[in-house]
């Protein structure tokens, strides 16, 4: 820049400013440095006289020479009196009060189980066993898993994930303050992936109240509290990214909150809370290619958790209500044929005689549109709504039948155990030796995740090294015929196995496929 150009710029600047701004005048007249700092907002702070950066915690006094007064910093932004952010203008506030209130109710869960010792391959050999039988034997070892849990009752009821405590011989919980307690497992279910523990100690304990998860909306702020990677209790924040996520392979109900709050291994069973400090979900799974959080976490909704805890208090198993009907999703083609604006609802494609669905008046071809005031988008949504309503309740349905919309009351009942299960362990010199079998009923079918309309005899367990294991029998196999005769019950099967045969020809059903086998 040429000297004459610089002179012109300074001249125009001086002419444009009628008086020198505060900060440009020093004790011995004015300085160019003070002028530049004042023009670009880097002068000494008028309240403190210190510069070049003002203290943000000190309210700035309005400048008489400035047409726009400075905005004071909110007093709640500093000091001990903090509160949850209420808007963008308060984003500098803290979640600390909410965390202090809720974090004590989130605990670490330690589960341990004894793994049997590896047996020597020569242990049962009559000759080599005396030389090598003990050489390869090892002492039992303990395997442990680590997760998180949430206290939902001041008496000491803790909710966690089933996969945290599955097959555990001992389960302990630890508070963030270092206290540890033994627990008793009251109820666990791999279909829901939830478990309820009872702390072996005197309360009251800190707890979280459960929110109505139906009130959640996409975009709501949430906090995830847990023990990721076993490093200690941590808190992460995010929003509700999506609701009613399905088909993620975690449980049979397929209904989850999706959140971008960081969830990592060890967070399982931890709390997902809203801005009122209430439990809206139990953190359960993540979608990850690396094993760490990618901002896609899933939590079981608090309404499902509440229904599960209610079953644990009553000392009963958790189960879905038995309807005696089959449902399918409404496809775009079906929606168009039915005159629906969009594909929604659960299409009834099967109704069993004498079942609650039949008694309520459901018919094949009906489309269930709502349960109560809540719209049903899919069969998964229907199953979730009925499960959270619970056994003993009544679901008020709105259905579409042809061009009519009808209201039906559906009683929610447990699946019947007819015929009685009559459990038997089969032995002898037969292909079924080593199996545990039950009579199939709607209740047994529900427990084993089999179609409700199946009848006959089902395998529930196969002993290792048994004839049944050698011939390939598996749990959940439905035994149909033996040497041409239909297998109607466990008693009939045991009687048939007592006869003498030159060979064994039997048929079974596995995962919907019919299979035949011949053994001589």
Q: How far apart are CA 306 and CA 311, in angstroms?
A: 9
- Tokens 């509700």 locate to 240
Q: How far apart are CA 54 and CA 72, in angstroms?
A: 13
Among 235, 388, 421, 225, smallest CA distance to 321 is for: 388
User: pLDDT tens digits for 310-349?
Assistant: 999 987 778 888 998 989 999 999 999 998 999 999 999 9
8: tokens are 């012109």
Alpha-carbon torsion (244, 246, 248, 250), positive or negative: positive
Comparing 11-25, 156-170, 282-296, 352-366, the range with the smallest average pLDDT is 11-25
Q: How many CB atoms lie within 10 A of CB 229?
A: 13
Q: How far apart are CA 436 and CA 451, in angstroms?
A: 20
| More confident of the two residues 159 and 16 | 159
With 90 as the cut, is the pLDDT of residue 357 above it? yes
From the centroid of its chain, how far is CA 228?
15
Q: How far apart are CA 206 and CA 510, in angstroms?
A: 48
Q: How far apart are CA 303 and CA 384, in angstroms?
A: 9
What angle separates helix 379-389 from helix 302-313, to the nearest 10 degrees? 40
User: pLDDT tens digits for 259-287?
Assistant: 988 888 888 899 999 999 999 999 988 77
Q: How far apart are the first and last CA of the chain?
A: 105
285: tokens are 């799974």
Among 241, 346, 340, 353, smallest CA distance to 297 is for: 241
Asked if 241 and 218 touch (Cβ cutoff 8 Å), the reply is yes
Q: Give the model's confidence band at 368: pLDDT under 50 very low, under 70 low, under 90 confident, else very high.
A: very high
Q: Which residues contact 44 (CB under 8 A, 6 or more apart)?
A: 23, 37, 50, 51, 52
Q: How far apart are CA 306 and CA 304, in angstroms?
A: 5
Q: Does the annotation flag 472 for ligand binding?
A: no
Strands 325-329 and 513-519 come out as unpaired
Q: How far apart are CA 154 and CA 158, in angstroms?
A: 10
Q: What is the mean pLDDT of residues 170-178?
A: 90
What are the phi and psi torsion angles at 103 (to 5°)?
-60, -35
Chain mean pLDDT for the chain = 79
pLDDT of residue 200: 93
| The length of the chain, given as a count of residues | 520
Q: What are the chain's domains? A: 98-116+139-318 (2.40.10.120), 325-412 (2.30.42.10), 423-519 (2.30.42.10)
Q: How far apart are CA 207 and CA 222, in angstroms?
A: 18
Q: Does the annotation flag 441 for ligand binding?
A: no
Q: Which residues contact 1 (CB under 8 A, 6 or more apart)?
A: none
pLDDT of residue 256: 87
449: tokens are 């995740």
4: tokens are 């004459």
- Alpha helices by DSSP H, listed for 222-366, are 302-313, 332-338, 356-360
With 50 as the cut, is the pLDDT of residue 71 above it? no
Q: What is the mean pLDDT of residues 162-170?
A: 88
Q: Does the annotation flag 427 for ligand binding?
A: no
Q: Taking CA 215 as the corner, what is the angle to CA 213 and CA 221, rounded to the nearest 5 degrees? A: 85
Question: Which residues participate in catalysis according to the annotation?
Answer: 163, 193, 268
Instruction: Give the C-alpha distances (Å, rounded to integers) separating 347 from 326, 329, 330, 364, 399.
Output: 8, 6, 6, 8, 10
Asked if 398 and 370 touch (Cβ cutoff 8 Å), the reply is yes
Q: How many CB atoms lie within 10 A of CB 279?
A: 27
pLDDT of residue 75: 37
Among 454, 459, 485, 471, smallest CA distance to 517 is for: 471
pLDDT of residue 353: 85
Reduced to 3 states (helix: H, G, I; strand: E, B; else coil), residue 268 is: coil
Comparing 68-72, 139-143, 507-511, the range with the smallest average pLDDT is 68-72
pLDDT of residue 172: 92
The DSSP code for 322 is B
pLDDT of residue 89: 63
Q: Highest mean pLDDT: which of 57-71, 123-137, 225-239, 405-419?
A: 405-419
pLDDT of residue 288: 62
What are the phi and psi torsion angles at 197 (to 5°)?
-110, 155
Q: How far apart are CA 511 and CA 184, in angstroms?
A: 35
Q: Does the annotation flag 409 for ligand binding?
A: no
342-368: burial string, b at 16+ Cβ within 10 Å, e else: ebbbbbbeebbeebbbeebebeeebbb
Reduced to 3 states (helix: H, G, I; strand: E, B; else coil), residue 327 is: strand
Alpha-carbon torsion (122, 128, 130, 134), positive or negative: negative
Q: Does the annotation flag 290 for ligand binding?
A: no
Among 344, 347, 301, 310, smallest CA distance to 328 is for: 347
Q: How far apart are CA 99 and CA 87, in angstroms?
A: 18
Q: Give the model's confidence band at 229: pLDDT under 50 very low, under 70 low, under 90 confident, else very high.
A: confident
pLDDT of residue 254: 61
504: tokens are 């064994």
Q: What is the mean pLDDT of residues 375-396?
A: 89
């Amino acid at each position: 820049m040429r000297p004459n150009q610089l002179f012109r710029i300074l001249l125009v600047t001086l002419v444009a400013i009628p008086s020198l701004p505060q900060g440009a005048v020093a004790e011995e007249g004015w300085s160019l440095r003070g002028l530049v700092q004042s023009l670009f907002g880097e002068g000494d702070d008028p309240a403190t006289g210190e510069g070049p950066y003002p203290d943000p915690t000190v309210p700035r006094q309005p400048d008489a020479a400035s047409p726009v007064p400075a905005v004071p910093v909110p007093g709640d932004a500093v000091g001990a009196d903090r509160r949850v952010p209420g808007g963008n203008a308060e984003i500098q506030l803290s979640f600390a009060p909410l965390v202090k209130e809720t974090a004590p109710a989130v605990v670490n869960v330690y589960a341990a189980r004894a793994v049997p010792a590896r047996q020597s391959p020569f242990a049962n050999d009559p000759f080599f066993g005396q030389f090598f039988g003990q050489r390869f034997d090892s002492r039992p070892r303990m395997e442990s898993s680590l997760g998180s849990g949430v206290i939902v009752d001041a008496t000491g009821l803790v909710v966690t994930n089933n996969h945290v405590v599955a097959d555990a011989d001992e389960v302990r919980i630890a508070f963030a303050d270092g206290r540890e307690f033994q627990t008793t497992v009251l109820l666990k279910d791999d279909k829901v992936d939830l478990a309820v523990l009872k702390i072996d100690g005197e309360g009251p304990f800190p707890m979280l109240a459960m929110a109505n998860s139906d009130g959640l909306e996409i975009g709501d702020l949430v906090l995830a509290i847990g023990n990721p990677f076993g490093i200690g209790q941590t808190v992460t924040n995010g929003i509700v990214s999506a609701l009613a996520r399905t088909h993620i392979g975690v449980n049979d109900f397929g209904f989850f909150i999706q959140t971008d709050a960081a969830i990592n291994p060890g967070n399982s069973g931890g709390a997902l809370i809203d801005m009122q400090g209430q439990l809206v979900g139990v953190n359960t799974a993540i979608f990850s290619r690396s094993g760490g959080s990618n901002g896609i976490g899933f939590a079981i909704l608090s309404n499902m958790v509440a229904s599960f805890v209610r079953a644990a208090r009553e000392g009963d198993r958790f189960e879905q209500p038995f309807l005696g009907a089959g449902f399918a999703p409404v496809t775009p083609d079906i929606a168009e044929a039915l005159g629906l604006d969009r594909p929604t609802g659960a299409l009834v494609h099967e109704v069993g005689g004498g079942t609650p669905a039949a008694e309520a008046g459901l018919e094949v071809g009906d489309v269930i549109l709502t349960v109560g005031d809540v719209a049903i988008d899919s069969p998964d949504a229907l199953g979730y709504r009925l499960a959270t309503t619970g056994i003993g309740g009544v679901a008020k349905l709105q259905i579409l039948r042809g061009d009519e919309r009808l209201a039906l009351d559906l009683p929610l009942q447990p699946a019947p155990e007819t015929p009685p299960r009559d459990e038997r362990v089969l032995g002898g010199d037969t292909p079924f030796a080593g199996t545990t079998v039950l009579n199939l009923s709607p209740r047994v079918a529900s427990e084993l995740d089999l179609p409700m309309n199946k009848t006959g005899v089902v395998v529930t367990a196969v002993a290792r090294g048994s004839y049944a294991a050698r011939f390939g029998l598996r749990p959940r196999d439905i035994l149909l015929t033996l040497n041409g005769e239909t297998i109607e019950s466990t008693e009939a099967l045991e009687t048939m196995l007592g006869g003498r045969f030159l060979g064994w020809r039997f048929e079974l059903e596995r995962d919907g496929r019919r299979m035949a086998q011949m053994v001589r």
